[in-house]
C-alpha cells in the first residue's frame, strides 16, 4: 500500500512538474532536444545549403545561408541560373546585389534592411541557444497552441528592438513556429516561419524545412540539404565587393 502511495506521489509530482514549466526548464529542454548548445556554440560558422520553392509547386531554387559568428551573415538566392540575389551583413554594413535591376553591382542596405540581413546570424544559433548572453531579454509567456499543437511560448526581445517569439512543441521541445516583429521604414513588420522535418545528423536535431504561410496554407518552403559547421569561411566573403568596372 505504501508503495502505491509513493508511486502516486511520484506521478503527481512528475505531472505537476510537467505542468509548471519555467523559462530555464524550457530552454534546457530545447537545448537538449537539438543535441546540446555547448557543442553547437563551439562552431563559429555555419553554411546552410537549401532549395526554395513556392507554395503551388514550381522550380526549387538554390539558396545558401552563410553565418560567421558573432555578427556576419550572407544569403545567396539563385532565382535563375546566373542571377543570384545576395543580402549580406559584414558586422557593420549591410549590402545587397539585386541582379534583376540589370546591375550585378553591390548596393548598401539602409539600416532597417541591414538589421534584417543581420538577423540571419541567428538562424541556427538562435536566442534559445545564446540564452541571453548577448543582452536579449527572454520571457516565458505560458502555453499556447499553434495549429492544434500545444506549445510553450518564449519571447526574445533583442537589443535592436525586434521581438522574436518561439513556439516550442510541449512534447519534443522543438520549435514549431517563430514570429519576428520589427520596424522597417517606420512600419511594423511581422514575419512567421514554421520549421519542420527535423532530422538528427551528426548529433544535432535540426529543422530541414522552413515554411512561410498565408491564411494557413504554405506559400513558400525552404528545404535544407545540408548544415555545414566545418567549412572555414573568410571574413572577406561578407565584405561588400567593389563596383565592377
* Per CB under 8 A, 3 contacts other proteins: no
Which residues make Cβ contacts (< 8 Å) with residue 91, sequence separation at least 6?
71, 72, 238
Annotate each residue in 100-119 with x if it binds other proteins (CB under 8 A) or - if it does not, as one string: xxxxx---------------
Among 24, 111, 139, 147, binds other proteins (CB under 8 A): 147
Annotate each residue in 42-81 with x if it binds other proteins (CB under 8 A) or - if it does not, as one string: ---------x-x-xxxxxxxx---------------x-xx
Short-list 208, 180, 210, CA closest to 195: 210
Burial 79-116 (b: 16+ CB within 10 A, else e): eeeeebbbbbbbeeebbbbbbeeeeeebeebeebbbbb
Q: Which stretch in 10-18, 23-31, 69-77, 230-238 sits in contact with other proteins by CB under 8 A? A: 10-18
How many residues in total does the chain contain? Answer: 245
Using CB under 8 A, count the residues that bind other proteins. Answer: 51
32, 180, 191, 222: CA torsion to nearest 10: -30
- In the complex, the residues that contact other proteins under the rule CB under 8 A are 5, 8-9, 11-12, 15, 51, 53, 55-62, 78, 80-83, 99-104, 145, 147-149, 169, 172, 174, 176, 186-187, 194, 196-199, 208-209, 211, 215-218, 220-221
Amino acid at each position: 500500500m505504501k508503495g502505491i502511495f509513493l508511486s502516486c506521489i511520484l506521478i503527481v509530482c512528475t505531472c505537476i512538474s510537467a505542468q509548471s514549466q519555467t523559462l530555464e526548464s524550457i530552454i534546457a529542454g530545447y537545448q537538449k532536444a537539438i543535441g546540446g548548445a555547448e557543442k553547437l556554440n563551439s562552431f563559429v560558422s555555419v553554411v546552410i545549403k537549401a532549395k526554395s520553392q513556392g507554395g503551388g509547386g514550381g522550380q526549387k531554387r538554390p539558396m545558401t545561408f552563410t553565418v560567421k559568428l558573432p555578427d556576419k551573415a550572407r544569403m545567396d538566392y539563385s532565382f535563375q541560373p546566373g542571377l543570384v540575389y545576395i543580402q549580406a551583413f559584414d558586422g557593420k554594413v549591410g549590402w545587397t546585389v539585386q541582379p534583376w535591376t540589370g546591375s550585378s553591382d553591390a548596393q548598401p542596405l539602409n539600416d532597417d534592411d541591414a538589421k534584417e540581413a543581420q538577423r540571419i546570424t541567428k538562424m541556427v544559433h538562435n536566442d534559445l541557444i545564446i540564452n541571453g548572453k548577448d543582452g536579449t531579454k527572454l520571457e516565458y509567456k505560458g502555453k499556447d497552441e499553434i495549429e492544434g499543437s500545444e506549445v510553450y511560448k518564449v519571447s526574445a526581445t533583442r537589443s535592436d528592438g525586434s521581438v522574436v517569439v518561439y513556439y516550442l512543441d510541449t512534447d519534443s521541445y522543438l520549435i514549431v513556429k517563430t514570429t519576428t516583429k520589427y520596424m522597417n521604414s517606420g512600419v511594423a513588420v511581422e514575419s512567421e516561419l514554421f520549421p519542420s522535418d527535423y532530422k538528427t545528423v551528426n548529433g544535432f536535431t535540426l529543422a530541414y524545412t522552413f515554411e512561410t504561410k498565408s491564411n494557413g496554407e504554405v506559400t513558400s518552403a525552404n528545404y535544407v540539404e545540408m548544415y555545414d559547421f566545418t567549412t572555414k569561411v573568410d571574413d572577406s566573403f561578407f565584405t561588400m565587393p567593389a563596383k565592377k568596372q
